[in-house]
């Protein structure tokens, strides 16, 4: 079994102070995934970006983040989680400064990709620090309730911040705002966090890094290219095939190398596998909701950026109430799928409610209902899934296990944004082709596009809920503890095989 070497910090840390600074870093990651969304119409006009390319402002970040996370988790495990955390914060701040100063589309994409790369170091180091800091079930439930609330509500808060910054300053401040946040998190983290790392010499699985990165990039790029080339084009099909082959090769390599990037023991668990799946598919719907509602409010309804940000507050409030008030209390008492499955189904209902949106639909009857439903659903899913994603894993693997859940989140966002944007764009083009390009039809075409993509998002969430219901048969924490004490049921490390039972 792997061991972890811990070193005491200069001052005795408070776990809850540590949670604050770790949470601040995570909030910055989540904010950066969505704070640019609300500024997207403004920066699209400013930099002359096409509708087909606009999603790359989001995808460049989430794709770099998601494809490098497993490597980032291993770097954190071997070189020190606190050290990695602090370096990543500094790098993230620098990349944000570059993006804010971008004078063209290419420079902005480079900055966003660099943000994603440093985020791939920051995300797993932050979550693994949380995992090794909170080990008692009651405190762990509280800490992960806070973490889940940040993950769920942070996106909506980012939209509010993005609206204010875009309206009163400039879209560039949606990137500059990361600099003070990173500085505060770095100073506080240096003062209160304890260092921990995997014992032994660092060994990195270079073939695994190349295979998983190449596979994920191929799949996401194919999804994005389908908007212009069509799903049946040879290029799109070839990229999809290449991505699948590379990811399959990655799984083979990981089962054979001595020091894998992603040890199969980490994911060969119904508990953790179900958690990764739940997060990835929920984020597909979440990113779809953010993207569609932002453009619906600004393009169709004519909302200003700040009004759009304020209009997103009900979603953030619903997530906080659901995650902090309901899920935190139930998490130690019930099996995880009792919360995750209803949460995903509620999210699906939210996406289907978007079918009721028309150019003249009132806020209370349309946007408000969508947000309250999705906030409630996300608040049930995210804290539970993130908690169980690192359930029972050895501390020496906590970085890569944390990277796994972040990978599911970011790749879900990348694929979801690319896929749903492609579906929406194609549906909009088809509507205009059949109805003409009058101003009234232009607004209705946007709505039709988002409605079509929302049906797909709802279907993905329903399918995910059904799979999690069957796969994630983990008992409640008390029942599992009793089973482990008698030597029956899932083992203490939560590595019950995916094909068991």
**Residue-wise pLDDT tens digits, 32-49:** 766 777 777 788 888 887
E strand or H helix at 314, and its extent? Answer: helix 313-320
Q: How confident is the model at residue 500 (pLDDT cuts 50, 70, 90)?
A: very low
- pLDDT score, position 179: 92
Closest CA to 122 of 75, 170, 163: 75
What was the pLDDT predicted at 7?
A: 45
Which tens digits make up the pLDDT trace of 112-132? 999 988 988 888 888 778 777
List C-alpha distances in Å: 314 to 30, 159, 285, 321. 18, 12, 17, 10
Among 350, 226, 333, 218, CA closest to 282: 350
Q: What string of DSSP letters covers 20-65?
A: HHHHHHHHHHHHHHHHHHHHHHHHHHHHT--TTTTTHHHHHHHHHH
Determine the longest span between alpha carbons in the chain, in angstroms. 71
Q: Above pLDDT 90, what percent of the chain?
A: 9
Give the number of other Cβ atoms within 10 Å of residue 248's Cβ.
12
Percent of the chain with pLDDT over 70: 84
Name which of 367, 336, 349 is nearest 455 in CA terms: 349
Two tokens, residue 76? 């954190």
Q: How far apart are CA 480 and CA 471, in angstroms?
A: 16
Q: Which of 103-107, 187-191, 342-346 has the highest mean pLDDT?
A: 342-346
What global pTM score does this model have? Answer: 0.70
Each as own residue / partner, the long-range contacts of residues 93-96 (CB below 8 Å, 24 or more positions apart, any chain) are 93/178, 93/179, 93/182, 93/183, 96/32, 96/175, 96/176, 96/177, 96/178, 96/179, 96/182
Residue 10 has a pLDDT of: 37
For residue 408, give the nearest of 156, 205, 216, 154 by alpha carbon: 216
Confidence check: pLDDT of 58 > 70: yes
The model's confidence at residue 8, banded by pLDDT at 50, 70 and 90, is: very low
Residue 390: pLDDT band (50, 70, 90) is: confident
Q: Which residues contact 67 (CB under 8 A, 6 or more apart)?
A: 120, 212, 213, 216, 217, 411
CA distance 113 to 99: 10
Residues 311, 369, 384, 17: is their CA dihedral positive or negative?
positive
Residue 230 has pLDDT above 80, yes or no: no
What's the pLDDT tens digit per position in 344-363? 999 999 989 988 888 888 88
Question: How far is the C-alpha of 228 from the C-alpha of 337, rounded, in Å?
Answer: 39
Contacts of 251 (CB under 8 A, 6+ apart): 264
């Amino acid at each position: 079994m792997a061991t972890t070497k811990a070193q005491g910090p200069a001052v005795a840390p408070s776990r809850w102070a540590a949670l604050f600074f770790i949470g601040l870093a995570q909030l910055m990651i989540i904010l950066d995934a969505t704070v640019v969304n609300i500024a997207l119409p403004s920066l699209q006009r400013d930099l002359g970006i096409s509708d087909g390319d606009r999603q790359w402002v989001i995808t460049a970040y989430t794709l770099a983040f998601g494809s490098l996370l497993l490597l980032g988790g291993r770097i954190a495990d071997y070189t020190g989680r606190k050290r990695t955390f602090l370096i990543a914060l500094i790098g993230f701040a620098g990349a944000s400064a570059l993006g804010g100063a971008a004078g063209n589309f290419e420079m902005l994409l480079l900055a966003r990709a660099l943000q994603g790369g440093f985020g791939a170091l920051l995300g797993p180091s932050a979550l693994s620090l949380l995992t090794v800091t909170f080990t008692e079930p009651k405190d762990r439930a509280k800490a992960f309730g806070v973490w889940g609330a940040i993950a769920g509500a942070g996106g909506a808060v980012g939209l509010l911040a993005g609206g204010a910054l875009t309206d009163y300053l400039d879209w560039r401040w949606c990137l500059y705002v990361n600099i003070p946040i990173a500085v505060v998190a770095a100073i506080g983290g240096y003062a209160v966090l304890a260092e921990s790392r995997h014992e032994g010499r660092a060994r990195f699985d270079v073939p695994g890094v190349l295979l998983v990165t190449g596979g994920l990039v191929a799949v996401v790029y194919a999804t994005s290219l389908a908007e212009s080339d069509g799903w049946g084009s040879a290029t799109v099909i070839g990229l999809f095939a290449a991505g699948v082959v590379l990811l399959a090769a990655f799984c083979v390599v990981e089962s054979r190398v001595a020091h894998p990037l992603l040890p199969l023991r980490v994911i060969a668990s119904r508990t953790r596998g179900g958690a990764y799946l739940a997060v990835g598919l929920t984020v597909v719907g979440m990113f779809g909701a953010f993207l569609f509602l932002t453009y619906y409010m600004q393009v169709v309804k004519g909302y200003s950026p700040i009004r759009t940000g304020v209009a997103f507050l009900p979603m953030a409030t619903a997530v906080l109430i659901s995650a902090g008030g309901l899920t935190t209390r139930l998490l130690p008492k019930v099996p995880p799928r009792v919360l995750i499955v209803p949460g995903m189904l509620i999210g699906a209902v939210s996406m289907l409610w978007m079918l009721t949106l028309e150019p003249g639909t009132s806020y209370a009857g349309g946007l408000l209902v969508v947000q309250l439903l999705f906030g409630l659903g996300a608040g049930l899913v995210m804290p539970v899934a993130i908690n169980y994603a690192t359930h029972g894993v050895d501390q020496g693997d906590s970085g890569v296990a944390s990277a796994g859940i972040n990978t599911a989140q970011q790749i879900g966002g990348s694929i979801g944004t690319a896929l749903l944007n492609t579906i929406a764009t194609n549906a909009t083009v088809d509507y205009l082709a059949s109805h003409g390009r009058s101003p009234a039809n232009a607004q209705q075409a946007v709505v039709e596009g988002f409605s079509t993509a929302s049906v797909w998002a709802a279907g993905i969430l329903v399918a995910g809920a059904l799979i999690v219901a069957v796969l994630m048969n983990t008992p409640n924490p008390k029942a599992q503890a009793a089973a482990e004490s008698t030597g029956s049921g899932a083992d203490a490390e939560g590595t019950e095989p995916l094909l068991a039972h």
